[in-house]
Amino acid sequence: MNAAAALADTAPTTYELCLVPSQVSPTPAPAPRDTFVTKLAAGLAAHCGLDEAELELAELLAYGRSIGAIARTLELDTREVSRRCAALFAATHTDGRQQLFELGLRLTTMTELSAHFMYAR
């Protein structure tokens, strides 16, 4: 038997491929730690006095996760996540995800520059 015939005997048919269970996990992967985005969220938390739940929500928003993905990660209803986002935006005096990210970026930049100039003296 040649190699092509052996491969044809072991290869699944198109129908069998459709029957293979999905390899996609129903829950999203956790957000990475110690990254630039976590620094942004930590700057927001320090400046705005956010609690742990608000910090986690800010990180997930900064990573670009959708409301549905955040709801699955936090094991909450999407309406509850939307309500918490509105409360987070109110606490940080921002109007949405983009302004939240920009505020975190400004705060982190100011912190990093201040530390740089303190050590440069």
Listed by start position, the domains of the chain span 27-120
- Out of 3.40.50.1820, 3.40.50.2300, 3.40.50.12280, 3.40.50.300, which CATH number does the structure's domain 27-120 have? 3.40.50.2300
In this structure, what token pair is assigned to residue 68? 């549905």
Q: Write down the pLDDT at residue 17.
A: 45
**Is 71:78 a contact under the CB 8 Å cutoff?**
yes
How would you write the pLDDT of the chain (121 residues) with one tens digit per residue? 555 555 455 544 444 444 444 555 555 555 566 788 888 999 999 999 999 999 999 999 999 999 999 999 999 999 999 999 999 999 999 999 999 999 999 998 888 788 777 766 5
Q: Write down the pLDDT at residue 72.
A: 96
* Contact partners, residue 118, CB within 8 Å, separation at least 6: none
